[in-house]
Every structure is written in C-alpha cells, then in structure tokens.
Structure 1
Amino acid sequence: MELPYAEPYKIKMVEQLKRSTKEQRLKWIKKAHYNLFNLDSDKVFIDVLTDSGTGAMSDKQWAEMMIGDESYAGSKSFTKLKKTVKKITGFKYFLPTHQGRAAENVLFSAMVKEGDIVPGNSHFDTTKGHIEFRKATAVDCTIDEAFDTSIIHPFKGNIDLNKLEKVFKSNPKEKIPFVILTITCNSAGGQPVSVQNTKEVSALCKQYEIPLYFDAARFAENAYFIKKREAGYEDKSIKEIVKEVFSYGDGMTISAKKDGLVNMGGFIALNNKEVFKKATVFNIMYEGFITYGGMNGRDMGALAIGLDESTEFNYLESRVEQIAYLGKKLVEYGVPVQQPFGGHAIFLDANKFVPTIPREEYRAQALAIELYVVGGIRGVEIGTVLADRDPFTRKNRYPDLELVRLAIPRRTYTNNHMDYIAATLKNIYDSREGAKSGYRIIDEAPIMRHFTVKFEKI
C-alpha cells in the first residue's frame, strides 16, 4: 500500500479562531463599507486575504530571534542575512528594507522618472502604483494564455517576447529603465515563469541594453514549478534552480513576507554598483541605515533562516500541494478557478462565477463579500477595483480577468480549513443565479484605492 502524504512539520502552538453568525457578518461588513480590508481580524474565521507576513515561523527562526543583534550599524544579524542573500541569489550588493513595497520605493526612486515606460508581466498593485506615482507607465507584456482561466499552460506568468520587443522598438532605451519580471506572477493567478522564458527575456534585454529586474516575492514557489514542469530541471535542487534564474537578471526586489517566511521584511539585491550607490541614498532617507533598513536585527536573523528553509523541496511540496488540494476540490465542485493552480493562492474566476453582475458594479468584489458573509472567509478582489483608474482619463480600467484571490498563509491552516473553504464556495456557486447587482464606490483614494475604498450596496 502506498503511504499517504504527510506534512513535513508538526504543530507546536495554536491560535483560537472565533466563529460568528451570518447576521453578525452582514452587520460588520456594512459597517466596514463593504471593504474586507476594513474588517478587524477577530471578525474573520479563515483569513486568506493575503499570504504576506501571515505565515507561521519555524522553531529555528524563533530561536534565531533570541540572538538578534540590534546594533544600529553593522550588526551580526545583518552580516548573516547579507551572506545568505548572496548564497541564495548570487547578487553582489544588498540593501534591507522593511517590506517589498519599501524596496520598490527605494529602487524606483533611484531608477524611474516621469515619462518612463516599465514593461513586465502583469505588474502587481504596489509595483504599478510606484510606477504611476512617478508619472511613468507600466506596460503588461504577459502571454495571452494567462487571461483564459480554462487554458492549461504550465507557465502562464511568461512574458510574450513579441509584445516586449514591440515596447523596445517603440521607445528609446533611455525611456525604459528596466523590465520587471514577477516570479510567480501574482496578478495572473500566482502563475510561474519558466527558465527558458527568463533566458529569452534576458537575451532580448541585453540586445536592447535594458536591465532586467525581478519582483521575487515568490521566487521559491516559482522554482518549485520549474522543477515539476520544465524539462531538464527535474533533478536539480530548488537552490540550484533559484541561483540559475537570478543569474539572468541585474537585480531584484522582494517582499520577504512571502518566500522569506517572516512576518515583516524585504530587500533589494543588485549587481550594478552605481545603482546600488544611488539606492543607498534613498534607503537611508526612507528606511534607515543601510545595515538595517527598517528591520530589527532579530527579524534579519529570522529572514536568513527563512530563505534557507523556503528553498528546500520538502517545504515547498507541502506548501504548493496544499494550494492544489483546495483547487482540486473546487474543480470537483464545478467552481471556476484559474488553472493550472498557482503557487500561493487559488483565484476564483468572477467573470464565470457571477457574469450577471455588471463589471461596473465590481463583480469580483461582490463575490469576495459574499464569501465573507456566507462563510466568514476573507479573500481579496483582484480585478477592476485593484486595477484602479487610468491616471490620465480617470476612468475605470477593466482588466481581462476579474478574480477573487484566496491566498493561503504558509504553514498555518490545515486541509480541514481547505475543505471548509471549498464547501462554502460550492454552496455560493450552487445558489448564484440570483446575483444580479453589485456595489458602487462612494469614496476612494487617487491611487491604490482598493486598500481604503468605500462601497455601498446597489
């Protein structure tokens, strides 16, 4: 008899979850102006709003925190992290930041100016926000297959080389500070990028003398998919794959709250000394001295351990296969989701789930709210609300995909929780025919509105 799969860890500590009634949740979400970000965590039963900083750290990480060196300059914890980053990524220069968007802020302050063009594969919200805040333009060059949730393509995060070269040919290279390759590609459904595509993008960038940078928040999960799906990599270790992928780029930013397995932290890693020198100025201005950059010594120590743990196959198999477990349940129930399943989340296809709700009434947001009301489950809209308004016309941007993301925290929930999520969604899907109207916005910020936007029910 073949032995069943078992997680490569055991549970040492638990946190109590609070149950609530549907009537309570209806009252709470209305008070929160139908924005799931505005809910207090004790009003949520299963929280899959994000996998960013919400996971469980290991015993080794907690032990490392006890010996953190909190020296303002040149702490031992910084040195440990710097060495680990060099070992894992291969990049020469390193700047810690307090999280990923801070790393973007520092690097983009050094490199992006008004009128610039930044091509990439479905830039995430903070990335696009930092670009557009500087009056530059993000251009999506993702392959077309990424925008059809029913197509099975092993690397839906890939960049379309023809789209990218069209951007290169249409603009002087001085207007393109870099290409940004997001691994895995969150906005396309947590989809991976192949080594082959990375090599081809890198070669095209070199041909046009344009740097290639990675948004590497989920770089380890990306490497897992490469090992499982790309010919020639099945016998390579995760660390070997990671090192090769990064060898094709000039630098990276990372929110270490994902594949760094910590609750707070990020960094920039680079090969270009001049870019590093420029970035240090902004790192000191915005984050702190260059040997702590907004992080405590103990957190840098925990991150050094986390980077090592996240690039081990056993951990990644447990992590990614739990996502697949939920995805298979939903497919079995007929619930439309992005396929193949992503590395950190399941993405519900709201265009197929509730097509009767007009897009201008934010159908993905309506679905996310219904999931909370019915089951106390907090996901997040990845659709028109997140896509924001065009910075020039101020009209809504309607992306090809209207998604609800269920981002699973690392080493946190059991498969019983996945069963609960799947059953809740089956019940909603089976009764969705009555979904005719959604929500209207009554208040929003001028940029990255989805965090604080207020709605009213139509």
Structure 2
Amino acid sequence: MKTIIEPFRIKMVEPLRLTTRAEREAILRSAYFNPFLIPAEAVLIDLLTDSGTAAMSSEQWAGMLRGDESYAGARSWYRFEAVMKEITGMPHVLPTHQGRASERILFELLGGPGKIVPSNSHFDTTRANIEHSGAEAVDLLCEEGKKPRLRRPFKGNMDVARLEELIQKVGPERIPVVMMTVTNNTGGGQPVSLANLRAVRQVCDRYGIPLFLDACRFAENAYFIKLREEGQQHRSVRDIVRDMFALADGATISAKKDGLVNIGGVLLMRDDQLAQRANNLLILTEGFITYGGLAGRDLEAMAQGFQEVLDEDYLQYRIRSVEYLGEGLLHAGVRIVEPPGGHAIYIDAADFCEHLTPDEFPGQALVCALYRHAGIRGVEIGSVMFGRQDPATGRMIHPPMQLVRLAIPRRVYTQSHIDYVIEAVAEVYADRSSIRGLRLIDAPPLLRHFTARFEEI
C-alpha cells in the first residue's frame, strides 16, 4: 500500500492555536529571531526537536500510575534496570534526568585539559560538555557524509583511517574515549553501519581506548541496518541492537528520543571502577542511584517506551513517514540531505538561501521565514549552532554544511500535518529571494543557539 498507516489510534487530542501572519511577525521580532524564544502555544507545527516531544502510549500512562516513588530501591527502578540490561546487555545502568546529564557525568570523569574526544559527529550538548571539561571534541565524519545530495546507505559513519591517524598523532593516552553517535544527528540523521562500528571497535582495541555510543536514536539506527546493510535483512531489530551495544564499553542515552518519553536519560557502562565513580557523582548531582533525578513514574514510562520503540511496525512507520516529508520537499525542488534520515529532514539552507553568505546565517534566516509564513518551527544546524571564532584572526569558522532541521516528534503529527509542512516549505521556496539575512547581536560563549539574539539585516 502507498498510504502510510500509523500503527496506533488517537485517544486524546490537544488543540492547536492558529495565528495570523501579523501576529507571527510580532512574535518573531519579540523573540529576536530565535525560535527557541518563541512561546510554544504560538507554534502551529513544532519541528524544533524530536527530544521529549513524543506522545506516550496508554501502557506508558498506565505505568506512570503504577510508579513506585520510594527513594531507594523502588520496584519501578528494578523494572527499568531489567529492561535496559535485557535490551543492551550492559551490566551498569544509571538513570539520569536527561541525556546531557549522562554526558556531564561521563566527561567530568573522563575529560579534562589536554584530552581529545573523537566522534563521527558530536551533537551540541555532547560537544559542550566535552569542551566544558577542558577537552577538545573532534569530528571525523566519513567523506560521503559531507555531501548533502550524495545517496549512500550509511553517511553517518566515522572515517576509520582518520581516527587511527589522530590516535597515532596525539597518542592514545590523550584520548580517553571514542564516541559514536547513532544515528548521526549533526550529519543529517544518517545511520552508522555495523561494519563501521566493528572497524572503530578494532581500532579502539588496538590502542586500548574505550568506545562509547551516543545512542539517543539506537532503534532507528538498527532499523536502517536491517533495511540497508548486507546480511542483516533477516534479523530482528532487537538482535541488531544487542550487536550494536555489544561493540561498546558504554553509552549515553537521552530517553527523550527513542525512549518515547518526555523526560529521562541513561548512562550505561561495563567498567566496574568507572561505574562506581559515576555512581558517586550521580548521588552528588542527580539523586540516588535508583532514581537519578527522576520520579518512579518516569522510570516506568521509560521502561515501557524502550520496549515499544523496538516494535518493527512502529519503526517502519517512523522511518517511512520521515521519508515521505523528504520526498515531498524534493518534488518541490527543495534540496535536502539525502537520503532522508531517521528522525528529521535537513534542508540545505545554503542552497535554499543562495543569496545569503554564511556570515548572514542562512539557516537561521530560513527558520524565521518558515515561522513567519506558516507557523512552523524548525532549528538551524549550521553557523549559529556550530560556528566558532578563529582566535588568531577573529573571523568566523563555518561548519561544512548550513542546514535547517525539521525534526518530527514521535506519534504526534498525522500525514495531513506533514502535507501542510510540504506545502508551506514549497511556498517559502518559491519566494526565497525575499528572505533577509541576520546579524548576531548577543550570544553566550557555549550553546549559543538556545538563547542568542539576532536582528534582520
């Protein structure tokens, strides 16, 4: 069948507010042209992020009512721990309030001045936590991943040769951990192959370096492996997931993605000593090791969500619905990162706004244009998020791609919502020469995209 069928039915609805263009213009200006500063109730279709924005299932809500709120050793903790051990095979499971809390703990223990942490591509909070520790975050994305219109099955892979060159150049003692982001968010939501994970594992083994996964979207990555990697089609997603985690020494996970919940995170480890140190830090900053800053009801929702996300009917719908958005935009002439990723479509903002230079923030300008025209909120992934100033020249160093991410919340929007997005983007594209560039007027030194302020040029 050509029609995409959601493998669920709607049991509760939330009204959306329809705004006028004049209202959106005023809201956009009061938010200083930053979508993060726009009130959510003034957004019609919210594609800012897929993090913490999922609709939970009836079983998840039922689990929340069963939540045990005991401070230590709650039955909700034991259920959550058992589910995570069964899915990942990791012996040490620490709950945290979200993924960046897991990252903070990990890099407070492993980071520090002089250290280097390579990855296929670090996303924003991972990079910020690494740099906050004093370490340096290095991206080693494969060459295919740097070409938006090149269609390859695993454009999220790490360049293994460059990883080995880096280790030999700086010495393995300066690299406390190698990170692999699955799927590769910064690189367009592109998956990583099992073969690439195995190759990175072999390099890490040769030099005695631990390998950790940034596994926020591990189930989506596993489904891509099933679809695209030779010899994997006959296998279950659950088995592929076990293979992925078996190659790692640990993982950070934001449960707000493939955990299908609105809050929660996980830190997974194999090393007993590292786990003990992480336990101590967790108690200091998050809470006791059996709740990690979460309520028992949150642990119940996470335990159920991590099982539901492995349902292959759900994953088929999820990946196909994102692909549907990508196909619609391509048909309208809009260039995107191809092939479509697992959780979002990434518009090539440099091509869309070819009349704007990187210094005029074409991605941020496009995000503003989409909100102004149709009430759609996306997010820039380009010079606002990842640009940095050259300390020697003072000039901006721009990332290789200027993108706008349209991240689709899980189990929230229907096909008619996505059709509206396609229509709106096509209309903005038809009038793209009218999009004005932006000037940065205020920003913090780290994670500036969250709170930066702009004005139109």
TM over 0.5: yes
* More displaced 10-residue stretch of structure 1: 140-149 or 404-413: 140-149
Deviations 1:334-363 (A, max 9, x none): 111110001000000011111111111111
Q: 1:10 to 1:135 in 2, by over 3 A?
A: same
Q: Which residue of 1 aligns with 2:338?
A: 339
Name the structure 2 match of 1:405. 405
- Given residue 376 of structure 1, which amino acid in structure 2 is its aligned partner? G
Distance, in Å, in 2 between the alignment partners of 1:203 and 1:122 is 19
> Given residue 365 of structure 1, which amino acid in structure 2 is its aligned partner?
Q
Query: Which residue of structure 2 lines up, in the alignment, with residue 140 of structure 1?
Result: 139
C-alpha deviations, 1:355-383, integer Å up to 9, x for none?
11111111100001000000100000000
- Conserved 8 A contact 1:388-1:448: no
In structure 2, the residue matched to 1:255 is: 254
Q: SS where residue 455 of structure 2 aligns?
A: strand
Instruction: Select between 59-68 and 164-173 the one with higher mean Cα deviation.
Output: 164-173
- Within-5 A mapping of 1:9-408: 9-390=8-389, 395-408=395-408
Retained in 1: the 8 A contact 2:378–2:404? yes
1:389 deviates by: 2.3
Give the distance between the partners of 1:434 and 1:4, measured in 2 at CA: 36
Tell whether the 8 Å contact from 1:97 to 1:292 is kept in structure 2 after alignment: yes
Structure 2 CA distance for aligned equivalents of residues 79 and 302 of structure 1: 13
Q: 1:256 corresponds to which letter in structure 2?
A: A
Deviation of the 1:291 alpha carbon: 0.7
Q: Distance in 2 between matches of 1:84 and 1:388?
A: 39
Find out whether 1:434 has 2:429 as its counterpart: no
Q: What residue is the counterpart of 1:423 in the other structure?
A: 423
SS of residue matched to 2:441: strand
- Give the aligned length: 456
Contact residue 132 and residue 391 of structure 1 kept, 8 A: no
TM-score (ref. length: structure 1)? 0.98
Three-state SS of the structure 2 residue aligned to 1:145 is helix
State the AA in 2 paired with 1:292: Y
Q: Deviation digits for residues 16-38 of structure 1, max 9, x if unmatched?
A: 00111111111101001111000
Say if 1:126 and 1:303 are closer, same or farther in 2 by CA, change over 3 A. Answer: same
CA deviations over 1:256-299 (Å, ceiling 9, x no partner):
00000000000101111111011112111211111111111001
Q: Which amino acid aligns with 1:397?
A: I
- Contact 2:111/2:134 (8 A) holds in 1: no
Report the Cα offset of residue 388 of structure 1.
4.0
Is the contact between residue 374 and residue 424 of structure 2 (CA under 8 Å) also seen in structure 1?
yes
Compare 236-245 and 282-291 and name the one that shifted more. 282-291
Q: For each residue in 1:67-119, what CA deviation from the matched residue of structure 2 results, as whole angstroms up to 9, or x when unmatched?
A: 00001111111110000000001111011000000010011111111111000
Asked if structure 2 preserves the Cα contact closer than 8 Å seen for 1:98 and 1:264, the reply is yes
Alignment partner of 1:9: what SS? coil
- Percent sequence identity is 46
TM-score, normalising length: structure 2: 0.98
| Letter paired with 2:280 | V
Cα distance in 1, alignment partners of residues 273 and 204 from structure 2: 19
Q: Distance in 2 between matches of 1:368 and 1:144?
A: 27
Q: What runs of 5+ residues in structure 2 fail to find an aligned partner?
A: none
Cα gap change, 1:392 to 1:74, in 2 (>3 Å): farther
CA drift of 1:177 comes to 0.6
Amino acid at match of 1:431: D
Instruction: Please tell me whether the aligned partners of residues 345 and 407 of structure 2 are also in contact (alpha carbons under 8 angstroms).
Output: yes
The residue identity in structure 1 corresponding to 2:400 is: D
Distance 1:323 1:434 in 2: 28
Paired AA for residue 94 in structure 2: L
Q: 1:345 to 1:119 in 2, by over 3 A?
A: same
1:5 is displaced (CA, Å) by: 4.2
Q: Deviations over 1:116-169 (max 9, x none)?
A: 100001100000001111121111111011111110010010001111111111
- C-alpha distance in 1, partners of 2:143/2:2? 40
Report how far residue 434 of structure 1 moved: 3.3
SS of corresponding position for 1:66: helix
Deviation at residue 392 of structure 1 after TM alignment: 5.0
